[in-house]
A and B are shown apart, each in its own frame.
Chain A
Amino acid sequence: MFLLPAIFLVAMLNVFPLLINYMSTGTLTQKPVTVVNAPESFMRYVDDTLEAKAFNYNFMTITEYKEFSKDKNEVRKQLRKGMIICLFDSGDIAKSFDDEVRDYYDEVSLENTEAESNAVIYVGFDANSLTANTRAATFREAILEEYQDSLIDYLGGDYSVIGSSLFETDTFNPVTKFEDFRTVANKSASRVVSGVLMIMMYYSTYSLVIDMFASERDRGFMDKLILTPVSRKKIYTGKILAINVIVTFSSCVTLALLFLSSWLNRNNDAMSLLPFGMMLTPSELLIVLFSIPITALLMTAICVSMVFALKNIQEITVNLQLPLIYFLGDFFLQMFRGTRPTTMEYFIPVHNTLELISEAFMAQEKAWHVIIVYMLNLGIALAVLTTTFRKEEIK
C-alpha cells in the first residue's frame, strides 16, 4: 500500500507529457519532421551526426510535397497536430540546393563582395502551439544551425580555408519594439499569470476558511458567536466578506508582483516565464480585477459548504487540499496547451476564470465570455451559500 503514491507519481510523470502533447497537438505521439527536397548534404549530415537522430524524418520530393499541399485543409490539420515542415529551396528549379550554396562559396572565395545566395531553408509549423514552437526552435538551433555550419567544410572549397565570418546589423525602433515586447510578454503571461492567480486565490481562500470556519467550530468558538443576538446568516456573511476582501487584496498584490517581475526581467525571450513588457489595457485590467472577487466568492462558497458537510477538522483539511491538485493540473495544462479553449470551457466554474484571464492577456476577450464567466460563477456561489446556510438553520 505504501508504494501506491510512488507508483501513482511515476505513472503521472509518464502520462503528463503525453497529455500535454495531446492538449497541444491533438495527438498522443510526436510527428516526424517532414523534410522536402532534402539535398545530399543534409542526407549525409543526418546519417553522420548523432544529434540529428533526435528527430525522426519523413523525406518528400518536391513533387510529392506539391501533391500533398494541394489539400490546404489537410495541411492545416497536420500542422495543428504538430507537423513540422522543413523545405530546402535553391531559388532556381534547375539548380540543386547544394549547387547554389557551393556557387555562393566559390564567389565569396573569389572575393566577390556582391556575392549572394538564393538558397533558403523554410521551417513551417503551427505558431499557436507552444509544443510545435519549441520543437521547431530546437530543430532550428540543434539541427539546422549545426548543418549550416557543416556546409562550409562540405561545400566551401577554398572559402573554407580563406573565408571569414559574416555578420548582420539590426535596426531598433523603440515604438514598434515596445509593441513586440508586449506581444511576446503577454503571450507568455496568458499561460502563466492566470494559473498562478488561481492557485494563490484558492490557497488563501482555503486557509482562511479553515481558520475562520473549521477551526472556530472545532474549538467551540463558533457556538459562542452563534449564541450572540446576531443571526447566523449575518455572522457567516461577515466572515465570507472578510475572506473575500483578504483574498482579493492578496491576489491583487500577487498580480502587481507578477507585473513587477516582468518589468524587472531583462529578457524578452518567448521561452522566459514572464518576459519583459507585460502590460494590460485598462479594460483588460478591469476584466481581470473583477474576476478575482467573484471567483474568490465561488471558492469560498465551495470550501464553506465542505466545512459544514464534514465534521472532523483533519477530514476537512484533507478534502480542502484536494482541489489544489486540480488547480496545479489546470495551471500546467494551461501553460503547455496550444489549442484555444472550447466554448464549453467557459461553462466550467472556476476554470472559466482561468481562461478569461488568459484571454485578457492575449487581448482576445469577448463580451459574452465575460458575462458568462461572471454570471455563472456568481450565481453558483450564491446558490451554494444559500443552500448551505439553509441546511445549517435546519439543524
Chain B
Amino acid sequence: MIQLIDVHKSYSKDHETIKGVSFEVHEGQIFGLLGPNGAGKTTLMQMIATLMKPTSGQILIDGLSADKSLLEIHRKIGFLTNEIKLDPLSTPNALFDFFANLYDIPKDELRDRRDESFARFGISPFAEKRINELSTGMKQKISIAISLIHNPPVIIFDEPTNGLDILTSKQVTDYLKELRQKGHAIILSTHIFSVAEELCDDIAVLIDGSIVAQGNVNELIALAKANTFEEAFFKIYVENHKE
C-alpha cells in the first residue's frame, strides 16, 4: 500500500536529512517509525503525505506517485499530526461539513459518518461549541475524526498520542487497532516505546535520517541482544548514532 524506494531528502547541499530510506507498509499493518527527536521522522512522514517532495527516490501510495496522481493520492490518505490546530472559531459540526464538501461526500453518507465518528470519540455534546472552548484531548479527537472523514485506506499519523492524557491516548490507540483490523495500512511515527511496542507490527528505527534496523519487537530485541525493547533501542542508537 505504501512503498518507499531509496528516498533521499536534503534541505541544503552539504546536509542530507533523509538518506536512502526504503520500506513497505501493507494493508492491515501498523508500521512504526521509531527514532529520537531530529532523526527525520516528521520529514519522512510529510514526504509520504505528499506535503514535501523527496530530493530523489520514489514514494508510491497504492501504486500511485505524487508527481502524476497527487489528488488521487489525497483521496487515499489521511494525515494527522499533533501540530495541527483547527480553526479556533469554528465548531466541530462546521468543520466536518467543510471538509466533507472538499472530499465530495454525499449528504446522507456524511450524516452516518458524522454520527459514527462523533459517537466513538464523544464529540456529540460539543458539536456546536467553538474549538477554542474545548480541551486539548477533544481537539485532537476532532482532528482525527476530520482527518479520517473520507475513510482513507492509508493512514499517516505523526506522533499521534503526543500531549494527550492517558484516557484519550488509550482511545486513540484502540481506534488504530480497530482500523488495522478493517484492513487500513497505517504508518505512525513515535518516540514513545510503549506505543511502538503495543501497536506496531513492524518497526523501523530511524537514526540520523537512515533506517538502521527493522523488524517486529522480538526481532529487534534479538538483533540487539537485549532483554527489553527499550534496551534494544538504546543499544541500536548507541551503535549507529554519529556525534
**Chain A positions near chain B (C-beta within 8 angstroms):** 216, 219-221, 223-231, 394-395
Q: Which residues of B contact A224 (CB under 8 A)?
A: 79, 84, 99, 146-147
A221 and B102 in contact, given A229-B74, A230-B71, A231-B71 (Cβ under 8 angstroms)? no
List, sorted by A's number, 10 A–B pairs whose CB atoms are closer than 8 Å: A216-B87, A219-B84, A221-B86, A221-B87, A224-B99, A227-B49, A228-B102, A228-B103, A229-B102, A395-B53
Residue of A nearest to B78 (CB): A227
Count, A-B residue pairs, CB within 8 A: 49
- A131 CB → nearest B CB, Å: 49
The size bracket of the interface on B is 20 to 34
Q: Is B29 in the interface zone, CB < 8 Å from A?
A: no
Q: What per-residue 1/0 map shows which CB atoms of B80-98 lie under 8 Å from chain A? A: 0101111100000000000
Which of A220, A227, A229, A231 makes the CB contact (< 8 A) with B85? A220
Q: Is B43 in the interface zone, CB < 8 Å from A?
A: no
- A119 CB → nearest B CB, Å: 73
A219 to B81, alpha carbons, bound, how many Å?
Answer: 11
Q: What per-residue 1/0 map shows which CB atoms of B5-40 lie under 8 Å from chain A? A: 000000000000000000000000000000000000
Q: Which residues of A contact B102 (CB under 8 A)?
A: 225, 228-230
**Chain B positions near chain A (C-beta within 8 angstroms):** 49-53, 70-72, 74-75, 77, 79, 81, 83-87, 99, 102-104, 146-147
- A213 CB → nearest B CB, Å: 14
Contact between B52 and A395, CB atoms less than 8 A apart: yes
Q: Which residues of B contact A219 (CB under 8 A)?
A: 83-86
Which of A220, A394, A395 makes the CB contact (< 8 A) with B84? A220
Contact between A227 and B74, CB atoms less than 8 A apart: yes
Contact between A227 and B79, CB atoms less than 8 A apart: yes
Q: Which residues of B contact A223 (CB under 8 A)?
A: 49, 51, 79, 81, 84
5 A-B pairs closest in CB distance: A219-B85, A220-B84, A228-B102, A220-B83, A229-B71
Q: Which residues of A contact B49 (CB under 8 A)?
A: 223, 227
A221 and B71 in contact, given A227-B51, A227-B77, A228-B103 (Cβ under 8 angstroms)? no
Q: Which residues of B contact A231 (CB under 8 A)?
A: 70-71
A225 to B52, alpha carbons, bound, how many Å?
Answer: 14
Which of A219, A225, A227, A395 is packed against the most chain B CB atoms within 10 Å? A227
Q: Which residues of B contact A221 (CB under 8 A)?
A: 84-87
Q: Which residues of A contact B146 (CB under 8 A)?
A: 224
Residue of A nearest to B82 (CB): A220
Q: Which residues of A contact B75 (CB under 8 A)?
A: 229
Q: Which residues of B contact A230 (CB under 8 A)?
A: 71, 102
Q: Which residues of A contact B70 (CB under 8 A)?
A: 231
Q: Which residues of A contact B86 (CB under 8 A)?
A: 219, 221
Q: Which residues of A contact B87 (CB under 8 A)?
A: 216, 221
- A386 CB → nearest B CB, Å: 19
A216 to B146, alpha carbons, bound, how many Å?
Answer: 16
- B19 CB → nearest A CB, Å: 20
Q: Which residues of B contact A225 (CB under 8 A)?
A: 102
A230 to B101, alpha carbons, bound, how many Å?
Answer: 10
Contact between A394 and B53, CB atoms less than 8 A apart: yes
- A313 CB → nearest B CB, Å: 13
A395 to B53, alpha carbons, bound, how many Å?
Answer: 6
A228 and B99 in contact, given A219-B85, A221-B86 (Cβ under 8 angstroms)? yes
Q: Which residues of A contact B104 (CB under 8 A)?
A: 229
Q: Which residues of A contact B77 (CB under 8 A)?
A: 227
Contact between A228 and B74, CB atoms less than 8 A apart: yes
- A25 CB → nearest B CB, Å: 52
- A160 CB → nearest B CB, Å: 76
A219 to B90, alpha carbons, bound, how many Å?
Answer: 14
Q: Which residues of A contact B74 (CB under 8 A)?
A: 227-229
- A294 CB → nearest B CB, Å: 30
A223 to B87, alpha carbons, bound, how many Å?
Answer: 13
Q: Which residues of A contact B84 (CB under 8 A)?
A: 219-221, 223-224
- B57 CB → nearest A CB, Å: 16
Contact between A220 and B81, CB atoms less than 8 A apart: yes
